């Protein structure tokens, strides 16, 4: 079963068989407003947990998207640059950003599970 984890910067990662599919949370997309542009990392790029991995721009602001885990990007969501609204429509589904082969699976233990993330969100309102 895939393991879903969250960062304090509102990224998520769903891990299955050592591969993490990553994106931004519903909370993050709602704070950004209408997403109009995304810049995704190329396959082969090495990313470090907490380091900049992608860029998302909305009608309100541009924001960095940080890697929730360390590893190598092996796929970016090819349809997202042509349809950035997917980030708003389905941030945890079709609006995913990249897939990363984890280099240090132990990092998952430093991220929040769903219950902890919901509790964290409650402190932001």
Per-residue pLDDT of the chain (125 residues; tens, 9 = 90+): 678 999 999 999 999 999 999 999 999 999 999 999 999 999 999 999 999 999 999 999 999 999 999 999 999 999 999 999 999 999 999 999 999 999 999 999 999 999 999 999 999 97
CATH no., domain 3-122? 2.40.50.100
In the chain, where the domains are located: 3-122
- The Cα–Cα gap between 122 and 62 comes to 24
Q: Is the pTM of this model over 0.75?
A: yes
């Amino acid at each position: 079963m895939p393991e879903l984890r969250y960062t304090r910067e509102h990224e998520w990662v769903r891990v299955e068989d050592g591969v993490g599919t990553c994106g931004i949370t519903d909370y993050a997309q709602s704070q950004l407003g209408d997403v109009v542009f995304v810049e995704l990392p190329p396959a082969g790029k090495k990313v470090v947990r907490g380091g900049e991995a992608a860029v998302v721009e909305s009608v309100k602001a541009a924001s960095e998207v940080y890697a929730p885990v360390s590893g190598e990007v092996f796929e970016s969501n090819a349809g997202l640059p042509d349809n950035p609204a997917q980030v708003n429509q389905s941030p945890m589904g079709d609006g995913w950003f990249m897939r990363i082969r984890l280099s240090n699976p132990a990092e998952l233990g430093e991220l929040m599970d769903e219950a902890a993330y919901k509790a964290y969100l409650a402190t932001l309102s």
